[in-house]
Structure 1
Amino acid sequence: MLGYLFGFNARIGRLQYFLASIALAVVATLMCMGAASQAYRTVRYGGALTVEQLGWPVLVIAGIFAVATFMLYCMRIRDIGWDPVVVVVGWIAFTIIDGLIASKFPAWAIGTRHQATAVGAFVNLGLTLALLFWPSGYAGDEPPARPRDTGGGSDGFFSRNGAPAAPTSRIARVANGEFGGRGK
C-alpha cells in the first residue's frame, strides 16, 4: 500500500513530470503567499505574531511540498526503469554525506552559506537532468520485444523472450501441496 501511496509503483512520463513539477511549484508559491498574507494581516491590525503562530503553517506547507516532490521523483524514477527504493535512498544518503563533508571541510563547500560540495551539486544536477530527459523504460518485468534473428536480418516479426517467468515454479510448488513449507 505504501508503494502506491508514495508513488513507488506508479509511473509518470517526462512531459507529465515536467508539467507536474511546474504545477507543484505554483501551488507551493500560492500556499506560501497565503501564509505570508495571513501573517501580514495579523501584524497590520495590531496583533502580535509569534514564531509559534507562524511555524505551523510553514511546516504544513513544507511537509506537503516535500511529500509531493518525493512522490514525483519516485514515479519518474519508476518510469525510467530504475528501482525508486534504491535510487531515492542512495540519493538521500549521498546528500547527507555531502552535507557532512561540507560542514567538516568548509574549504570544499560551494560557498560560506552553502551546505554542499561541488561534487554534490553535480550529482544533483545529473539526477535532475536524468529525471527530465531520460527516456521511459519498459513497463513491467518483461523486456521489450526483439526482432527475430533470421541470419541475414530482420524479417519484420517480433518475438518475446522465451525464458519462463519466475512465478511459474512457485505456482507449480503450490499446486503440488508445498505451500508454506508444510509437509504431508
Structure 2
Amino acid sequence: MACKTPEKFFKVVTSPALPAGTFKGALALVTGGGSGLGKAIATMFAQLGADVAIAARRTDVLAATASEIRAKTGADCEGFRMDVKDPAVVSKSIDEITKRFVSCASWCNGITFYVNPLRFGKLPSIVVNNAAGNFIMATERLSPNAVKAVVDIVLLGTLNVTTEVCRRAMKSDQGCTVLSITTPYAR
C-alpha cells in the first residue's frame, strides 16, 4: 500500500543536491520525459546545466513540456517522438537528436561559430530509461497481452534505447552514463 502522505515521513526536496553547472556540456536523453517522473528528471538535468532531449510518443505533451523546461531553466530542451518498442524508430529518433544538438562551438578572434550539426552532432552522454507501460492492478491479474505490452516497453524498450546510444558512443569513443528507472513489486 502506498503512503498517502510521504511528506509526513520524508523531507520533500525541490532543489538539486549537486552544484549548478554539474552537467554543463552534457546532453541528457530522458525517455518518458513528457510527464511525471521523466519530466521532473529532465527538469533537474536542465537546472544542472545539461541540454535535454525528452522522448515519448505524444508530441503535444512533449512540445508543452520542452517549452516549460526551457522557460523555467533557460536550458536547451527539445522533444522527440519515440516509440521505444520499435528499434528502427529508436534509431531514427537518435539520428534526429544527434542532428539537433551541436556537439561543439568554435571560438576564433572573439567570434563564436557553430559547426555543421550533420557532421558534428551531439550524442547523448546521459540516458535515462524512464518510459513505462503500466496497468493499475496486481501483476498476477494481468492478461498475457498486458504483460507483453509492459515487457515490450519496459524491458525491450530499455534495451533498444540503451544499445542504440551505447553502440554509437563506443564507435565514437565517447562515454555514456545509463540510468534505468525500475519499480519493485511487493506487498
Q: Above 0.5 in TM-score?
A: no
More strand by share: 2
Q: TM-score, normalised by structure 1?
A: 0.25
More helix by share: 1
Q: TM-score, normalised by structure 2?
A: 0.25
Rg bigger for which structure?
A: 1
